[in-house]
Structure 1
């Protein structure tokens, strides 16, 4: 104290007071995130990709299963009664070709130069994977359920393969071009809905079949995207051996199918 007084009154002001060391009141967090990097918030289940990809198809498939035959609210029998009352014995075969119409829209957009979400090679792989999932699942469910068609032609009614095919293609159009315009997907889904309507009007499927078929088609496309990994980049790079394309085809002599095209660079 004597030394401090001899040094003058300013010495006291210049001498810093030592502050007590802060104590870690939460020792359990001492070693968490030592670099101070921000941690990503965990995404909730309802916002996950899996939930968003399956919720709509699950609702469609579940509702379709609930109204098989005379069960559920507004059953398949009720729908058939109303359809026959309005359309009588009217029949056509437009649904056999309309099921591929969304694919024609997809091909037309690509030929017109509209940028898709994936390059041609990856899009072709997504299409092939979607078709494999859809055809396999629909065949298995048709075989296991054994639901008789409205016209009693066979027992492979549930779900509707035509409707599944149309909604699969419509889902691909929506996924590939929704960033350009939502109307591309809306038009494709409108075509697919027409396929389901004609399957009931033509007395080939019940209401339950077409609703569930729509769910199977959408689900197949969503699963293909969820499990796909782009191996050649997100967009075409201009390098490589060429461009690969997969488009639906139809001819009076050969029927329906797909055309695989390759163009060298």
Structure 2
């Protein structure tokens, strides 16, 4: 009887021991010291190299144009401003027009007409206006400062404020805004605006009012002004306005009339 009791005890103990041996160890407690470092599990953004930054991309083309224009002032450069004026005067000795005085606004006219036609732009009209105002202020400050610093004599000998061409800068500023606003719809809007701006620069040389250097640098300053206007604008395109869910309604309570204000925060 004692042997039978011992045998039953061994048979009961054996599966218990096997279960204890095959049961995996309990998992370690999770590390909660960094649980708020990246709660969504989204990998951290990789920092772009400096040469791929927005500022570099916005200034590289204007810098090339301004640099080339400055390098051809007077008789400098491989094909200087003097060389260009000599060739222009040889081909168009008596050319004169005032079309360029009005053509500088043509890209802005295109901007307005395309918007009125219902073509969706990158930003709404208010923010486009704000960018235009800031770009114009930047263009005006840069042009005025450089003109009064360099004091380059105009090719017709009238004044010493030739470099850079303000007409050309103004036209390319407006063309850059047209291109930025409608390039997602069609590149032809920008091509048309830049063609007009190029025509303004050519007419300034044909009218003997500006050198080649003035026109090329002016194009760079106009593009740069528009790009800086966008870069300095703090509006986030497409973001819902904070006051979108604000509502007003007339009210009547206790014999008095008034308005009720409702607001549902996002």
Same fold (TM over 0.5): yes
The interval holding the TM-score normalised by the smaller chain is: 0.7 to 0.9
Structure 2 stretches lacking a partner, 5+ long: 1-9, 247-266
Provide the C-alpha distance between the structure 2 equivalents of 1:232 and 1:181, rounded to a whole number of angstroms: 19
Kindly state the Cα deviation for residue 230 of structure 1 after the two structures are TM-superposed: 2.5
> In 1, are the aligned partners of 2:151 and 2:160 still within 8 Å (CA)?
yes
> In 1, are the aligned partners of 2:123 and 2:237 still within 8 Å (CA)?
no
> In 1, are the aligned partners of 2:164 and 2:218 still within 8 Å (CA)?
yes
Residue aligning to 1:121: 126
Q: What is the alpha-carbon root mean square deviation over aligned residues?
A: 3.2
Residue aligning to 1:68: 73
Alignment of 1:124-163 (within 5 A): 124-163=129-168
Tell me whether 1:79 sits opposite 2:71 in the alignment: no
Residue aligning to 1:101: 106
Cα 1:234/1:208, change in 2 over 3 Å: farther
TM-score by length of 1: 0.77
Q: 2:216 aligns with which of 194, 211, 220?
A: 211
**Structure 2 counterpart SS, 1:133:** helix
Structure 1 stretches lacking a partner, 5+ long: 22-29, 241-265
Q: 1:39 aligns with which of 37, 44, 47?
A: 44
Range 215-224 or range 32-41, more displaced? 32-41
Residue aligning to 2:14: 7
Kindly state the Cα deviation for residue 233 of structure 1 after the two structures are TM-superposed: 6.2
TM-score by length of 2: 0.77
Provide the C-alpha distance between the structure 2 equivalents of 1:60 and 1:147, rounded to a whole number of angstroms: 18
Q: How many residues align?
A: 230
